[in-house]
Chain A
């Protein structure tokens, strides 16, 4: 009988390795027998299994499968046979399973042809698992071979079933063609497998019987296939074939109608999409996580029903998809079949509706997508998904798909202290340290150190190896942590970069290095091993670009080098060989090519952690290339596949966002540092806190960097007070790194970042060092002997007498403090960047801007900005100085508080202000900025009131000063010179009435005046002129030089009503606002005034009677030295009131003679000094006025000019002389900026541009010849300011 024949063949053949000839022979044989026996061939596949079911595990499993599905038919027949086999089944199945996998590897390795390793494994597995698969269909679905396998299985099933049916019902009836084709289908599908089988060395591990069974089955398939092929050939023409096909489909449909599902090959599957006549797919909601259990329960139920002989369930199948949580698919004709089947099952939500899967989606629903995880095999590199090991590289040492688990080898991250605590029982349920323990190979020393129990060489059954066990739970192998995890908790890694592999294998390397001397060769060998270990990992597609140098590593052309010409679509590459005898381009398979780099070539890394780094190739060894990094000046190892030729001659600009390497950046924390290295997503920033020997380099993410600092013009002073500029060479003379020489790259707040030459340290030789511990190369004052003279830089240059006069009383009281803060003084009025620690630590409120209303603690403050740590939000913001207020600090009486009280919040009115240096005053030049000295007495805002500019960021009128001003400025009795500050001279001390000094009052006769003083219940009033506003209200317009003093009894006086925009002061106590608080009236309505408090910037409402108008804010009355900008251009109304605090008006309180400006000549500023000067009474023509102004100015300035200033400066006669005088004065003066600026601006205002320009150029000259660079830049700055104002003014 042909069956027997086939079987013998099947048994014998696999044991010998067959060549093609044999195969052919076999197929011929098969063909013959097929030809002879015709229909009988159908039975091939089954005969073996059926006949030998008793002796053969595998075969018996098959039988059982059949039985299960066709219980009704086969029940009687096979019942007895089956029962003993049943309990054994699952075990057998899983055994097979494991064996199959374990064996798969060696089989693949031994295999000669190498090309089909994967397939061979697949095939072997498929065979070995066959039985298991049928039994536990659902579990198998996670495998990659699932679809095919199931197809196979089902084919076989189908074939057998059909045959059985046939045998039972109609025997070999009129459907031979159909049967033939169905068998054919099954067998054709097996093509690959069967080929592999033949080449396979079957594993010794497999039990003899099992192996035979597997072999037999394979043979049967082979056999059948060839027979079918023969048969196909024999079908002479297409018509016949067509007919056969038709017949076959008819047969299939018929079968389907009977509920017998036969699935064909892949092609057929396409044609066999479900139709309405097929069973439907139902989606059943089950408890999450119990999907598999439900399906297994269903299966068990089916078995139980079958055993107990009850009617089987009407459902066809049940499927669980791993990716679909809390749903199970059940295949059945009707919904009630499903319900019935599910009845009584746990974990099924019976209450939820069972949904029908639309036909169109059916196939998708049950299609198992190939999951990457299924590629995991022993030796694969994976990455951990979560936990302490998240992202760590791990190597698979074992994988068990059945349990969905794998065993991985990791570099342990043990928290030994934690383990110890646990071990000793002192563990208090403490949360594990948040810090991720470092990955370090385990050594026994560690267990000894922490006194942890370590069990040596315990045999682990699962791994079939000896492992050490730490603390009874952590398995260790050679220092690695061996852990069994679920397949889901790891993912297949891309080919890991070399450095990672190295880190992984550090242990091995270290031990080897220890034993061998030198260790270099060993390390190299290790790398090679690593490289080869990569083979197992997912391989990245190699990309070859035209121009790449390549070398053949395999095949006939091994060691041939060439240059890539073209990357062909078919996976080969056309190369131009660099060989003397080969002159034409050849196509070479990509797989056999490797990139090739010569030592010394410039390359860039394109993958891995070194991505983007360029460097010079130092060494090439196999796949591993050593590259000397351009930037880091270090070597690193990479696979040559990760390199590309770098054509660029220059190094690549390494940048992150807008920041590039070697930029000076300010971080969100306001800290400043220099980028010394840029990595993929972070920059390494060398902070200012670094020292030469201990760099403080932090990785900073892009979003943590606020801005790039431009510091080209920034300078610093060295130990000898020499100026350090960008690009200077400096030598470290003190502290760490002494003796180093560096080229300064960046300067920030006294810290230098520079590149050390020669002695290349880390970070490309960049070090940060304090400017004070360096000395500029070529410095004149090597010994620092001149330091005292240089210490003050510009400000402390030889002091002129005038400079002393200009000093504020406060500053004069604290001369020492000024010396204590030489840094502050040195830059003499540098506008930004200076620290002002007086505010730090205080709580302030933001009064304007985005953060208006927020309160916070000041963490840092400069002259213009403060950094505020907000209370409401966890962030620190930068706020302009003029936008903050001190909620708690009420403005002291007499404080005009044009500047927010917060300006000196912590200091009481008499507190010393160390930050105050004379230079502060110098800075207050009109040209410098509007924010300074911005209050003008001549300002006319239309209402006759004088409004201070609210944006005064650096207003001289600090509470401290105002104490004196308040008294001296307005009171006849007060000392009239600046040199006598009289904080105690508050004229209103002890006075509780409303007629406070400075208040504007109305006399009974309608005249108005300003309260000067009070004597015995009477009030001294300076009578001023009045004007009538459009709304009919009469207000005080101005005090004139001729203002008469009248003494009036208090009782007849009334407070002049305040008008909109007037400056007012609270004169009653017990109101909402404290007495003495100043404000600006916003509106007046029915005896109520709405006003904006100067101190808090808050609006307040007060009865009109509680406030008194004051003529001008006191800030304008700083008597020490003030420049008062006049109205701007264009306000040249002849009606401009001459509110002139001239000499004739000493009571006005300046105690100074002032020069003034008048009438039609709009002028930006006038100057006066504390020193008495002859009043410049000016009237007459504009030209005369300007001359007079100049004159006054010159006199003013000459008062504090150095004695060297020529006499002509004091009495200028002509413009030229004046100019000359000015020039020489400026050169001589220690504080030329102020005067020259004032002069220039004055000239500019009066339209004498030529003069102004001359002054500017003089200043430029001065700037150029100035010794200090800071002074130079100041000059340039001022000159620029004036020029720009000139051009805009014209």
Chain B
């Protein structure tokens, strides 16, 4: 699920950047450091939408003459939840199941959680093929809709186990 959240962060800037374009520098720093990061609470920070406020710089007292800025910014966060239904792109198909990505999020759909009628085939490329409708194939790079059944949150990564064994889940039409 996506959230628009407001967060704060301290940015430390080297003195070489003190000058006209300092603000830009701070903004780019924020983006650089925040975008793509992942926390257990907020999930992945997808994008910094707006810098709300940049405090006055405080020279740090560590002898490096760098300055610290307190920055408030708003960002779009992507945090998956259990039972959330997601569209994702298959990145790898194995006989154990397939891996998919929803943006930065990695998911695994076990073959136990693939509908019974879809069977693994490795003839040409690894795929799960619907026995009842051959046109339904889960291969690399196709889009599938899955439901998250469990997630593991690491310090810089979220990993989900998802299921496709429910109504309205599976390869997206077209």
Q: Is A336 in contact with chain B by the CB < 8 A criterion?
A: no
Q: Is A1272 in contact with chain B by the CB < 8 A criterion?
A: no
1/0 per residue, CB under 8 A from A, across B81-97: the answer is 01000000001100011
Q: Is A922 in contact with chain B by the CB < 8 A criterion?
A: no
Whether the pair B91, A758 counts as a contact (CB closer than 8 A) is yes
- Contacting residue for B154 out of A517, A650, A760, CB 8 A: A650
Q: Is B152 in contact with chain A by the CB < 8 A criterion?
A: yes
Neighbouring A residues of B154 by C-beta, 8 Å: 649-651
- Contacting residue for B99 out of A600, A601, A619, A760, CB 8 A: A760
The verdict on A651 contacting B152 (CB below 8 Å), with A628-B108, A630-B159, A760-B99 known, is: yes
- Contacting residue for B116 out of A520, A617, A630, CB 8 A: A520
Neighbouring B residues of A619 by C-beta, 8 Å: 110, 112-113
1/0 per residue, CB under 8 A from B, across A514-536: the answer is 00011010000000000000000
Whether the pair A760, B92 counts as a contact (CB closer than 8 A) is yes
- Tally of chain B residues near chain A (CB < 8 A): 26
The verdict on A635 contacting B97 (CB below 8 Å), with A616-B152, A651-B152, A651-B154 known, is: yes
Neighbouring B residues of A520 by C-beta, 8 Å: 111, 116
Q: Which residue of chain B has its CB nearest to the CB of A617?
A: B150
Whether the pair B149, A649 counts as a contact (CB closer than 8 A) is no
Whether the pair B110, A618 counts as a contact (CB closer than 8 A) is yes
Neighbouring B residues of A517 by C-beta, 8 Å: 119
1/0 per residue, CB under 8 A from B, across A578-606: the answer is 00000000000000000000011110000
Q: Is A759 in contact with chain B by the CB < 8 A criterion?
A: yes
- Contacting residue for A616 out of B92, B96, B116, B150, CB 8 A: B150
A517–B155 CA distance with the chains assembled, in angstroms: 42
- Contacting residue for A649 out of B40, B82, B112, B116, CB 8 A: B40
Whether the pair A599, B150 counts as a contact (CB closer than 8 A) is yes
Q: Is B71 in contact with chain A by the CB < 8 A criterion?
A: no
A619–B162 CA distance with the chains assembled, in angstroms: 11
Q: Is A883 in contact with chain B by the CB < 8 A criterion?
A: no
Neighbouring B residues of A626 by C-beta, 8 Å: 110, 112
- Contacting residue for B91 out of A617, A635, A650, A759, CB 8 A: A759
Q: Is A257 in contact with chain B by the CB < 8 A criterion?
A: no
Neighbouring B residues of A650 by C-beta, 8 Å: 153-155
**Interface-centre pick from A602, A628, A633 (highest chain B CB count, 10 A):** A628
Q: Is A23 in contact with chain B by the CB < 8 A criterion?
A: no
Main secondary structure of the interface of A (DSSP, over half): loop
Neighbouring A residues of B112 by C-beta, 8 Å: 618-619, 626, 635
Whether the pair B101, A758 counts as a contact (CB closer than 8 A) is yes
Q: Which residue of chain B has its CB nearest to the CB of A634?
A: B96
The verdict on A616 contacting B119 (CB below 8 Å), with A628-B108, A634-B96, A649-B154 known, is: no
A281–B149 CA distance with the chains assembled, in angstroms: 70
A617–B149 CA distance with the chains assembled, in angstroms: 9
A518–B130 CA distance with the chains assembled, in angstroms: 12
- Tally of chain A residues near chain B (CB < 8 A): 23
- Contacting residue for B92 out of A630, A649, A759, CB 8 A: A759
A616–B154 CA distance with the chains assembled, in angstroms: 13
The verdict on A600 contacting B116 (CB below 8 Å), with A635-B97, A760-B92 known, is: no
| Min CB gap B97→A, angstroms | 7
1/0 per residue, CB under 8 A from A, across B49-83: the answer is 00000000000000000000000000000000010
| Min CB gap B68→A, angstroms | 21
Neighbouring A residues of B116 by C-beta, 8 Å: 518, 520
Neighbouring A residues of B155 by C-beta, 8 Å: 650
A630–B160 CA distance with the chains assembled, in angstroms: 10
Q: Of residues 117 to 174 in B, which have CB atoms within 8 Å of A's CB atoms? A: 119, 148-155, 159, 161, 163
Q: Which residue of chain A has its CB nearest to the CB of B163?
A: A599
**Interface-centre pick from A517, A601, A633 (highest chain B CB count, 10 A):** A633
Neighbouring A residues of B91 by C-beta, 8 Å: 758-759
A651–B152 CA distance with the chains assembled, in angstroms: 8
The verdict on A618 contacting B152 (CB below 8 Å), with A758-B92, A759-B91 known, is: no
Neighbouring B residues of A649 by C-beta, 8 Å: 40, 152-154
Q: Which residue of chain A has its CB nearest to the CB of B155?
A: A650
| Min CB gap A818→B, angstroms | 38
Neighbouring B residues of A602 by C-beta, 8 Å: 150, 152
Q: Which residue of chain B has its CB nearest to the CB of A518?
A: B119
Neighbouring B residues of A616 by C-beta, 8 Å: 108, 150-152, 159, 161
Q: Of residues 1186 to 1210 in A, which have CB atoms within 8 Å of B's CB atoms? A: none
Neighbouring B residues of A633 by C-beta, 8 Å: 108
Neighbouring B residues of A618 by C-beta, 8 Å: 97, 110, 112-113, 149, 161
Neighbouring A residues of B92 by C-beta, 8 Å: 758-760
Neighbouring A residues of B113 by C-beta, 8 Å: 599, 618-619
| Min CB gap B125→A, angstroms | 13
A758–B151 CA distance with the chains assembled, in angstroms: 17
A650–B96 CA distance with the chains assembled, in angstroms: 23
Q: Of residues 384 to 401 in A, which have CB atoms within 8 Å of B's CB atoms? A: none
1/0 per residue, CB under 8 A from B, across A654-676: the answer is 00000000000000000000000
Top-7 shortest CB links A-B: A600-B150, A600-B149, A619-B112, A618-B110, A616-B161, A616-B150, A758-B91
Q: Can you list 9 A-B contacts with CB-CB less than 8 angstroms, sorted by A residue number?
A: A600-B161, A602-B152, A619-B110, A626-B112, A633-B108, A649-B153, A650-B153, A759-B92, A760-B92
Give the interface of B toward A (CB within 8 A): 40, 82, 91-92, 96-97, 99, 101, 108, 110-113, 116, 119, 148-155, 159, 161, 163
11 new A-B pairs (CB below 8 Å) besides A520-B116, A599-B161, A600-B150? A599-B113, A600-B151, A616-B151, A618-B97, A619-B113, A628-B97, A633-B108, A635-B97, A635-B110, A649-B153, A759-B92
